[in-house]
Amino acid sequence: MVNPKPGTIRHAVTRNGPLWIIFSHSMSIRLTEELMVSSNKTIDGRGVDVYFIKGAGITTQYVNNVIIHGIKIHDIVPGNGGLIRDSEDHYGFRTRSDGDGISIFGASNIWIDHVSMRKCSDGIIDAIMGSTAITISNSHFTDHNDVMLFGANEEHTIDKVMQITLAFNHFGKRLIQRMPRARYGFVHVVNNDYTHWEMYAIGGSSHPTIISEGNRFVAPDNNNAKEVTKRVTEDDWSSWQWRSIDDEFENGAFFVQSGPEMKTRPFALKDMITPKPSSYVQRLTRNAGSLKCRVGEPC
């Protein structure tokens, strides 16, 4: 953990300069402890099959400009902690990790694209402690309870700066809740395909702004789980800005809106993806998850 061997993923992600990390062949990686990724790194699994399985997850903490693309992550468990390197210049003591697939902690400009994820001990992807400028796109999620948590605690008002986009993802089989669950901040949910949930799809507390545009929501047969939304609060949530715009609802699904009707988009057009109609969603998400790319051929 302190002196990683050159050529390993832990050595690559702890280099100080910008680095585009690729893999020489298909492999399964079991992380004994969480993988601390430094700034300006791209982890690119295209062209091979790369699995992060049956070990600790990936952590971006107080860093920026990180891309994670084209890998598979599943069966993630907590690491015990200890001395772990997080850059060429520094290593430090880490407590036991939570068991998140990808943990985003006080980080910004993070792009998670074309990943396939399932079965993590805690969240599949959690973003907390003032993390912002995050995009999660073109990914496939299955087999999990608490899928995504954006903001971990009502006392962490630093999460008011949070801006996260979920786009072109497929939320698939055997998912239960939190796709996502947000506290504070702004979440744009655009052109995703929600085909499974057992409790709810989109939830939150502490008055986050959630704009759902052009998604497809297919409710479960369970008559007690037709509602897409869930607000976790004892206070009046009627002023929270939760809007559904041109979403498609199937099998009795419904979205409970709140807040004033939107006259204009809450951010500049350059800051928000312009959605396609919800009728496009199945095509847009057809290749969600890690791609079967081959070197020298288009993905």
Q: Which residues are catalytic?
A: 178
Angle at 140 between CA 139 and CA 142, to 5 degrees: 150
Q: How far is CA 44 from CA 63, 117, 274, in A?
A: 18, 15, 26
3-state helix, strand, coil split of the chain in percent (to 5) is: 10, 40, 50
Lookup: tokens for 248:
């498609």
- My answer on whether omega of the bond before 220 falls inside 30° of 0, hence cis, is no
Q: Which two tokens stand for residue 244?
A: 């559904």
DSSP 66-82: EEEES-EEEEE-----E
**Separation of alpha carbons 220 and 42, rounded Å:** 37
Distance in angstroms (rounded) separating the CA atoms of residues 199 and 178: 9
Nearest to 262 by CA among 215, 211, 227: 211
DSSP states of 147-174: -EEE---TT-GGGGG-EEEEES-EE-TT
